[in-house]
Amino acid sequence: MAGLLKTEAVVLRSMRYGEADRILQLYTPNRGRLSAIAKGVRRARSRFGGRLEPFFRLRIELHEGRGELLTVTGAQTVDGHRALRGDARALDAAARACDAVGRLFETSEPHPGVFNLLCRKLALLDESPAQATRASALAFRLKLLLAAGIAPQLGACACCGEPEHLIGFSGAAGGVVCSSCEAGAFPLHEPAHTFMTEALRRPLNEAPTGEERVLGQVERAVSEMLEHHAHIRLMPATARRAKRSDPATQERPQALRESIA
Ligand SMILES: [Zn+2]
């Protein structure tokens, strides 16, 4: 089904290819994740300018041949998120958000809600780089779980349905568990439970906050859901702080480095 595809898209990743080309990983509202080659884009006079970079929101034209790789034939900027680009923490948060979307929604199945969520996340980071917190990264991941149909059960024990005495969380069971079903669960305290409920209920820009200890439990719950129900393991929600003596200990997975390059 060769032809022209016009769509909005967010650039999730951009990898150098050959002498002057780039391979892009794009997220679109109606075609999910797709890959495209942009030819000659690294030449100084490329008609695409600098807009085929990660975190750009574009109106893009793609030629679709028989292969999986589409070819970029035109691109207009909807939002380049310029402020976000000037802040290291916001840039890192944007890279982690794009990585999470690309890994959890890797097929061409349409999820327009996920596209909108990602656009909102990038817009928020652009509006205020101070939004690059662990709490807001976890609220975003919880909303991705919901969109993927694997939100944790929080209203009652995921094993037996008991609505009271919910003291633990089990990724295998798919949510909070009561004191009779806690085998294989880890302790989840009330503030972490409340954080998850609120993060799922409220819009992204009103995400709840919490102490590090609370966020640690939330992150573990989110990671267990991803591992048990989507079989993926994401990088941590935020970068570990580098030890002052050795800045090189700050981990940056290869994918992230390439993506920002
Ligand atoms: Zn139970």
Q: What is the pLDDT of residues 9-60, one digit of tens each?
A: 999 999 999 999 999 999 999 999 999 999 998 888 888 888 899 999 999 9
Q: For residue 81, how many C-alpha atoms fall within 13 Å in the half-sphere facing its CB?
A: 28
Specify the pTM: 0.90
The model's pLDDT over 199-215, given as tens digits with 9 standing for 90+, comes to 999 999 999 999 999 99
User: Pick from 165, 166, 169: which is nearest to 186 by CA?
Assistant: 169
| Distance (Å) from CA 178 to ligand 1 centroid | 4
| Distance (Å) from CA 175 to ligand 1 centroid | 11
| Distance (Å) from CA 130 to ligand 1 centroid | 39
| Distance (Å) from CA 229 to ligand 1 centroid | 20
Tell me what percent of the chain is helix, strand and coil, each rounded to the nearest 5.
Answer: 40, 25, 40
| Distance (Å) from CA 182 to ligand 1 centroid | 7
User: Pick from 6, 2, 74, 9: which is nearest to 35 by CA?
Assistant: 9
pLDDT tens track, the chain, 261 positions: 569 999 999 999 999 999 999 999 999 999 999 999 999 988 888 888 888 999 999 999 999 988 889 999 999 999 999 999 999 999 999 999 999 999 999 999 999 999 999 999 999 999 999 999 999 999 999 999 999 999 999 999 999 999 999 999 999 999 999 999 999 899 999 999 999 999 999 999 999 999 999 999 999 999 999 999 999 999 999 987 654 444 444 444 444 555 554
| Distance (Å) from CA 165 to ligand 1 centroid | 9
- Please list, in sequence order, all residues whose beta carbon lies within 8 angstroms of the beta carbon of residue 228, skipping any fewer than 6 positions away: 171, 172, 174
User: Pick from 105, 84, 104, 110: which is nearest to 95 by CA?
Assistant: 84
